[in-house]
Structures are given as structure tokens and as C-alpha cells.
Structure 1
Amino acid sequence: MVNLLIGWLRSLGLFSGRSLGQEVGMAALAWLLIPLFAAVGAAIWGSWAARNRTTGDVAELAGYEKFRDAMQKSHPGSDAA
């Protein structure tokens, strides 16, 4: 992963890689960015998971209630297992 990042930066001309210190610094930067991206992704997912879902709940609950009523009714001529 770090090698891909360094190769990408070299292709852009942003990283010459002449000194080992720069390469180590870039590796450290890459390892620091990984948790940062994970935290941003977790925050986005958390806000999506905690969104207000009341818009479709009423229709879904009404449909579920109809389904339960239909399943509880006994139909003459049907064999109950």
C-alpha cells in the first residue's frame, strides 16, 4: 500500500525518493491517513444509520398488520399443518 502511494506520488513528480528519510516520512504519513479515512467513513456510516426513518414506517406497519391478520384467520377447506 505504501509502495503504491509512493509510486503514485513519484509519477506526479511530488516525491523524488532521493533520501530514505522522505520515504519513511511518507510511509508514516500513509499509516496515519488510514485511521483518518476509517474515522471519516465511520462517521458517514453512523450518520446514515442514525437517520430519521419515520417516513415509510407507517405504511410498513399497516402492511405488516394486514399480513398478521390474514395469517391468523382460519380458512375453511385449508389443511393446517
Structure 2
Amino acid sequence: MAALAWLLIPVFAAFGAAIWGGWAARNRTTGDVTELAGYAKFREAMEKSHSGSEPVEQISNA
């Protein structure tokens, strides 16, 4: 019985490694699409807010 336990430890470790490997290699690009769309909206809003205003003068502390 002890020999069977020692043989099952590597089998369970390999099974766990296979599950972890599959989870780590999953496709996670679905979140990028919404983030990129939000970033594009942010850039458009920033361009609109600065397009009609006067340029800001730089203040030097020298």
C-alpha cells in the first residue's frame, strides 16, 4: 500500500501541473478589447477638450 501511495504522488502532481498549465495558457485577450475602446474614447474626449481652447503658457520657476 505504501508503494502505491508513492506512485500516486507524481501522478497527482502531473495532473495538477497539467491543470495549472492549461489555466496559465488560457486566452485572456477579451478584456483588452474593452480597455482599448475605453482608451480611444478617452483620447477623443481629451482632444475635444483642448481643440478650442487657447494654448497654456508654461510657467518657469527660474
Question: Cα deviation per residue 1:5-58 (whole Å; 9 max; x = unaligned)?
Answer: xxxxxxxxxxxxxx11221122111220232122121133xx11x236154343
In percent, how many aligned pairs have the same letter? Answer: 9
> Unmatched 5+ residue regions in structure 2?
none
Q: Provide the residue aligned with 2:19 in structure 1.
A: 37
Distance change (3 Å), C-alpha of 1:28 and 1:62: same
Q: Return the TM-score normalized by structure 2.
A: 0.53
How many equivalent pairs are there? 55
- Is residue 2:38 matched to residue 1:60? no
- Is residue 2:7 matched to residue 1:25? yes
Distance change (3 Å), C-alpha of 1:65 and 1:22: farther
Letter in 1 for 2:55: K
- Is residue 2:62 matched to residue 1:80? no
Distance change (3 Å), C-alpha of 1:34 and 1:59: same
Distance 1:66 1:80 in 2: 24
**Structure with higher RCO (Cα < 8 A, 6+ apart):** 1
Distance 1:25 1:64 in 2: 63
